[in-house]
Structure 1
Amino acid sequence: MLQIDAVEAVYQNAIAALHGVSLNVRAGEFHALLGANGAGKSTTLKAVSNLLPAQRGKVTAGSIVFDGHNVGRTSPAALVRLGLVTVLEGRHCFRSLTVEENLLTGGLGRSSSRTELAKDLERVYAIFPHLRDKRRALAGLTSGGEQQMTAIGRALMSRPRLLVLDEPSMGLAPLIVQDIFRQLKRLNREEGLSILVAEQNSTVALQYADRATVLDTGVAVLAGTTAELRQRSDIQSFYFGESVATLQAAA
C-alpha cells in the first residue's frame, strides 16, 4: 500500500533530515516507526503526507508511492481523498469548536450525506465512548487524552485506508495510551485498517504493531517483525544512546 524507497529529505535547503530511508506498509498491516527524539520519524511521516513543503522542507531523492500514486506529485488534500489520512503530533484540534464539531470536520472533504456523517459519527463514539459524553464540550477545554481521541476520531471520519499517526502517546497517561492503542489494533484487526505510527514509546508500539522500522539520525538501522524485535536486547540499549554502527553490526 505504501512504499518508501531510499528517501532523503532536507529543511531550508541545508539541514539534512533523512538519509536513504526505505520501508513499506502492506495492506492491512500495523507498522511502527521507532526512534528517539530527533531520529527523523516526524519528517518521514510529513514526507509520506506531502506536508514537508509547509515547513520549508522537501524530499531531495528517492520516492514515496501510496497505492500507485506518487506522493510528491499529489496534494495533501488529494491524498486524504485517496485514503491516506494523517494525525499530526500534538493533538491538533479546533479548540473553539466542540468535540462533535471537530469530528464532523473530518467528513467534510468526502461530500458525505447527512446520513453517512451520522453513521460515521456513531462509529467513532463506539470506538471512543468517552467522546460521546464530551461531545458538547469545547475541545480546547478537554483533557489531553480526550483531545488525542478527538484528533484520531476526526481522522477516522475521513474513512482512511491508511491511518498515519505521529507520536499518539506523547504526554498521555499510560492507561490512556493503552486504550488508544487497543482501539487502533482492533480497527486494524477487525476492519483491515492499515496503520503507520511513529512512536518514541517502543514498549507500547512493539506490543501492538505487526512490523517495525527503527530510525536513528535519519537512517533506518533496524527492521523486522515486532516479535523478532522484542527479543533483541539492543532495542532498549538503542533508546539509551547506543550507536548506529553497533546496531548495524548486531543486525
Structure 2
Amino acid sequence: MTTPLLRIEAVEAAYQRSIAALHGVSLEVRAGEIHALLGANGAGKSTTLKAVSNLLPAERGQVTAGRIVFDGHDTGRTSPADLVRLGLVQVLEGRHCFRTLTVEENLLTGALGRSARRSEAAEDLAKVYAIFPKLKGRRKTLAGLCSGGEQQMTAIGRALMSRPRLLVLDEPSMGLAPLVVRDIFEQLRRLNREEGLSILVAEQNSTVALQYADRATVLDAGVAVLSGDAEALRQRADIQSFYFGEGVAAGARSNR
C-alpha cells in the first residue's frame, strides 16, 4: 500500500476548550480518489474538514488529540496559507464568494495564493471556463448577483485556480437544484479521473456522494462509525438511518 495523501489519526477536537466535537476520528484519503465524508447535520463533518485545513483556531476551536498529515506535513503545524501552497485547498460551506467582485475577479484571486504568473493564471482561467461554461458567460457579473449554482461553481473554480492536489469540499450540494448538483459532481469526477485530482467531500446528500465517491466514511456525533468502499456502503440499508441521524450508531459500532 502506498502512503495516503491525507491521514487523519484518532483526532479529537473541541471548541472553546470545552465543547467536544470530534472523538477519535480516523480516515485516509488515497492519492487519486474521491472520499466522501457523510453524516447528518452536526455530525462533525465541517469540524473535520476545518481541522484538516488548520482553520479551527479561527473559530475558537482546536485539535486536542491525534494528528493530521498531508503529504508528510503535519497540518496542525502548517499555516492554512502554506497548506494551500502545498496543494491542500478547501471550499468552505456556504458558497463563499467576494460578492462585490465579478466572477472573473473571484476566480483570479485563487491564483494569488500560489503567486502564479499572468500566463499561468490565464491558462487556468480558460480551464475553469471549460469546466464550468456558465461562468464564462457571467464572467463580468458581480458574484453577488449570480445564482446559487453559479456562486458554488465560482467558489470551486477559484479553488481550482490554486492548482490543488487535494480539493476539500464542504456540502457543495447544499441549497442547489438536483441538475446543478449533478453537473458539479460530474465535473469533479472528470477532474478526478482525467487529472488525478484527489477529493475529500463532506455531504449530507449521501445518495449523490456515494454515487461519485470511491470510498466513504460516516460520522455520527463526532465518531467515525462506518468506513469502506462507496459501492459496498450504497448497499447498506442503515446508511439512510445514519444520514437522517436516527440513532443507529451504537449498532454499527458493535458490528465494526
TM-score under structure 1 length normalisation = 0.99
Match of 1:223 in 2: 227
Deviations 1:133-179 (A, max 9, x none): 00000000000000000000000000000000000000000000000
- Report how far residue 17 of structure 1 moved: 0.1
Write the distance in 2 (CA, Å) between the matches of 1:250 and 1:202: 21
Match of 2:83 in 1: 79
1:105 aligns with 2:109: yes
- Equivalent position SS for 2:247: coil
Q: Contact between 1:238 and 1:247, CA under 8 Å: does it hold in 2? A: no
- Report how far residue 238 of structure 1 moved: 2.1
1:89 aligns with 2:61: no
Match of 1:128 in 2: 132
* Gap runs ≥5 in structure 1: none
Match of 1:5 in 2: 9
Percentage of identical aligned residues: 79
- Report how far residue 237 of structure 1 moved: 2.2
* Gap runs ≥5 in structure 2: none
The within-5 A match list for 1:154-165 is 154-165=158-169
Deviations 1:3-37 (A, max 9, x none): 00000000001000000000000000100000000
State the aligned residue count.
251
Deviations 1:51-108 (A, max 9, x none): 0000000000001000000000000000000000000000000000000000000001
- Report how far residue 250 of structure 1 moved: 4.1
Q: Paired residue for 2:252, among 236, 247, 250? A: 247
Q: Contact between 2:218 and 2:242, CA under 8 Å: does it hold in 1? A: no
Match of 1:54 in 2: 58
Write the distance in 1 (CA, Å) between the matches of 2:73 and 2:21: 24
1:139 aligns with 2:139: no
Write the distance in 2 (CA, Å) between the matches of 1:210 and 1:29: 6
Matched AA of 1:65: V
Q: Contact between 1:106 and 1:156, CA under 8 Å: does it hold in 2? A: yes
- Equivalent position SS for 2:99: coil
Deviations 1:98-134 (A, max 9, x none): 0000000000122211111110000000000000000
1:20 aligns with 2:24: yes
Q: Contact between 1:6 and 1:63, CA under 8 Å: does it hold in 2? A: yes
Write the distance in 2 (CA, Å) between the matches of 1:112 and 1:52: 27
